[in-house]
Chains A and B, each alone.
Chain A
């Protein structure tokens, strides 16, 4: 073992440690502050207590905003999955006029029309439709935004499903409805589950859309409530916000781990919040 090798080995581990610290240190606070008797903004070993958790559960809006988040995100996830499933199956199996152009258009849409680029017209549109301060309106906008990418991921998935299952079902005289329900649906389940989780996680973390469209605090989802509480400031929030951040992050991490362990992480169907 030469000296050069040892030096390189040490440098290698120093590099890994430095990068890990860069990623880990800002996160440590969310692990310590929620359970600290004197929560501050810096990371330090906590003086253990569950008082903050109690305060958060009693907070007039905290748990309520979780329910709002759930309402919005479940609606979005179900709608995205249902509509994307129908569309992607038809686009994968049936040759329709203009199909390739449509797919190309969807792919462009998913990256060109971002929330920030479309926030003004969306705000104006929802304002004129009277859908400001409506959780259903938020879910609608999110569904429209997620659908192009969802159709794309699912179509990739359906394309990979062998057609022989459907063919043999047909040979045995199954109707179209039976084939879809009893053959296609079960085979496509991993893809549907992945898309549902992907849509849920994306809408759960979405700040901009509800921030634009929701006015009253009792309708705010968690992502917006956090911002509202941060702006208020004050010492109460140092007790509530850390616990709330932790609670608000749990569903995303759990769902991610679930999809990752059950179906494996498919890179181009990656989840990003």
Chain B
């Protein structure tokens, strides 16, 4: 239930290695009950975790479907006795200009800060840092990682201060006092902010992916006089293509679900930076339309599910 990323597992689901010993044919995975736990006690071990996950993760996700079919509200008559309204919340979404606006802004946000910003900056860092001195490398990485691990409210406040109209650092640097960046260019600010915030993940992923490129191939590319760009395109990229794809899917998913824009702009001014997560919040808790916001949440869940399924399929094919 966090805005946080789950870590990217290297090898999901399938146990590795051959079926375990003991002559139990068809066994998959490393399961072998060496401590004598027994299936009964094992189920007991798994139960508490599953209960919590069921109550606070699975149930809400499924309940969203039901609430999305009602006209449930935070206050008023519909708060006491909501009634079924069928698919009318979804037809409403089809014609809701503010929802279309939120979708469009989310697309811009994902495209600008994740697919372009974090991806390219992360790869550039990983590529450039291969050959730098360890001291330089460690210093740069420390800042990039710090941007990633600081609590989101602190980071948001740093950027609000950075963009501030009166005496913010950006205005001091550019010599443009009085420019209210977060009001005049809210989406651009969010894209810069999220690129800064999330590049560390791509940098680390690409750093480890680049280690899989055989040095001999890079050497031969150099011998035949390939330019830097040709080397990247013809030697490096084929090796890391799978990583580029999975990385892009993951950071897009996280960015589309990121609630931090709320901390910087609250969706304003006048809905100009209201991405889908912020829109859901505003509709549900400011507007009180719990039914309608549940319908939109459900659409977001479906989008997440599709991206995750593609991601897991890619991972599995790679391993």
Complex contacts, A67 vs chain B, CB 8 Å? none
Asked if A207 is at the interface of the complex by the 8 Å CB criterion, the answer is yes
Cβ A144 vs Cβ B37 within 8 A: no
On A, residues with C-beta under 8 Å from B are 12, 15-16, 19-20, 22-30, 33, 40-44, 79, 83-84, 86-87, 89-96, 99-100, 102-104, 106-125, 140-149, 151-153, 156, 159, 163, 166-167, 170, 176, 179-180, 183-184, 198, 201-209, 212, 222-224, 226-227, 230, 241, 245, 248-249, 252-253, 256, 267-273
Cβ A96 vs Cβ B42 within 8 A: yes
Say whether, besides A90-B37, A90-B45, A108-B308, A206 and B2 are in contact (CB < 8 Å). Answer: yes
Cβ A118 vs Cβ B149 within 8 A: no
Cβ A166 vs Cβ B35 within 8 A: yes
Cβ B35 vs Cβ A273 within 8 A: no
Complex contacts, B23 vs chain A, CB 8 Å? none
Interface residue tally on B, bucketed by range: 35 or more
Bound form: Cα–Cα A1–B125 in Å: 25
Q: Secondary structure of the B side of the interface?
A: helix
Cβ B157 vs Cβ A226 within 8 A: yes
Complex contacts, A273 vs chain B, CB 8 Å? 4, 148-152
How distant is A39 from chain B, measured CB to nearest CB, in Å?
10
Complex contacts, B305 vs chain A, CB 8 Å? 108, 112
On B, residues with C-beta under 8 Å from A are 1-16, 27-39, 41-43, 45-46, 48-50, 52-53, 55-61, 63-64, 67, 72, 121, 124-125, 128, 132, 136, 139-140, 143-154, 157-162, 164, 166-169, 171-173, 196, 199, 201, 204-205, 208, 250, 253, 257-259, 263, 276-277, 280-281, 284-285, 290, 293-294, 297, 300-301, 304-305, 308-309, 311-312
How distant is B59 from chain A, measured CB to nearest CB, in Å?
7
Closest 6 CB pairs of A and B: A145-B1, A144-B56, A149-B6, A205-B151, A90-B45, A94-B42
Pick the contact of B49: A40, A147, A241 (CB < 8 A): A147
